[in-house]
């Protein structure tokens, strides 16, 4: 099923912001550019068949390339038009002429949605996912927007290289982690903000290259009650 996921994703965005930031900060669409910044690569072209938008998870195509959506492929049709037998004898004088002739018939495919997926929009290379918007290379996840390369995750917004993870915003290379905001290279961690290089940590802000730390600001661990007072501000 391919339908508009925005309404559901906006609700989950509001919920995730409430969990991470303590309050809602506005609609998802207002943060689209910031969330997707640094993610990708991504290429959007018009379908050679329908004129609809086709999204690809690469930009390495020649400027004259043609594109179609995965849902526009007729798998019941034999691809005779792409075979050597369909070429005129004058087109196959040498290998270069064959490549040139076939090049005019080749089209690339985007909007690739596989498996039991539903409510996917402006996305490609999506497998077994539900409610995904403006994302690429995501598998076995739900409620994902403006993100790239992830799997087995939920409520992910503006993240790159994630999973399994959940309820995270604008974080990169996070695994087995939850409730991360502006955090990179974290594993087995939770409730991390503006941090990098954390492993088995929880409740950290502005922390770097720590392992098994709790209630830290910078790299200094505090008493739980003192940390929570500062965090609430």
Give the pLDDT confidence score for residue 81 in this predicted structure. 47
| pLDDT score, position 198 | 99
Note down the domain range covering 110.
1-172
User: Is 215 among the domain residues?
Assistant: yes
- The β-bridge relationship of strands 130-133 and 202-205 is unpaired
Note whether residue 80 is domain-resident. yes
Q: Once rounded to an integer, what is the mean pLDDT over residues 13-39?
A: 97
What pLDDT score was predicted for residue 93? 73
Q: Is the domain of 3 the same as that of 44? A: yes
Q: Are residues 168 and 210 in the same domain?
A: no
Share of the chain above pLDDT 90, in %: 81
Instruction: Give the end of a domain, one of 140, 172, 204.
Output: 172
Q: Which among 86-90, 91-95, 228-232 has the top mean pLDDT?
A: 228-232
pLDDT tier, 1 (very low <50, low <70, confident <90, very high otherwise): very low
Token pair, residue 17, equals 């912001």
Contact predicate 193/178, CB 8 Å: no
d(C-alpha 24, C-alpha 169), whole Å: 13
Q: How confident is the model at residue 145 (pLDDT cuts 50, 70, 90)?
A: very high
pTM for the complete prediction? 0.89
Cα Rg, the chain, nearest whole Å = 22
Q: How many domains does the chain have?
A: 2
- 32's enclosing H/E stretch is helix 32-36
Nearest to 169 by CA among 41, 56, 43, 28: 28
- The answer on 199 and 168 residing in a single domain is no
For the ranges 12-26, 55-69, 99-113, 182-196, which has the lowest average pLDDT?
99-113
**Which residue in 73, 72, 66 sits closest to 46, CA to CA?**
66
Instruction: List, for residues 90-119, the tens digit of each pLDDT value.
Output: 666 777 777 777 776 788 999 999 999 999
Last residue of a domain, one of 144, 172, 200: 172
Q: How confident is the model at residue 89 (pLDDT cuts 50, 70, 90)?
A: low
Tell me: do 145 and 202 sit in the same domain: no
Residues 122 and 26 in one domain: yes
User: Where a domain ends, among 172, 203, 221?
Assistant: 172
């Amino acid at each position: 099923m391919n339908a508009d996921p925005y309404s559901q994703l906006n609700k989950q965005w509001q919920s995730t912001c409430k969990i991470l930031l303590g309050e809602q900060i506005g609609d998802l669409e207002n943060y689209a550019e910031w969330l997707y910044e640094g993610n990708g690569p991504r290429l959007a072209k018009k379908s050679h068949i329908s004129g609809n938008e086709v999204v690809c998870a690469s930009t390495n195509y020649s400027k004259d390339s043609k594109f179609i959506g995965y849902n526009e492929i007729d798998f019941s049709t034999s691809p005779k038009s792409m075979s050597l037998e369909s070429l005129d004898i004058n087109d196959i004088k040498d290998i270069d002429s064959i490549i040139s002739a076939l090049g005019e018939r080749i089209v690339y495919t985007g909007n690739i949605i596989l498996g039991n997926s539903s409510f996917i929009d402006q996305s490609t290379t999506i497998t077994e996912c539900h409610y995904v918007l403006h994302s690429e290379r995501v598998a076995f996840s739900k409620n994902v927007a403006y993100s790239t390369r992830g799997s087995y995750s939920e409520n992910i917004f503006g993240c790159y290289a994630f999973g399994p993870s959940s309820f995270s915003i604008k974080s990169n290379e996070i695994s087995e982690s939850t409730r991360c905001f502006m955090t990179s290279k974290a594993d087995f961690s939770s409730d991390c903000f503006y941090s990098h290089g954390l492993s088995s940590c929880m409740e950290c802000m502005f922390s770097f290259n720590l392992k098994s730390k709790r209630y830290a600001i910078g790299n200094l661990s505090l008493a739980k009650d003192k940390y929570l007072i500062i965090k609430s501000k």
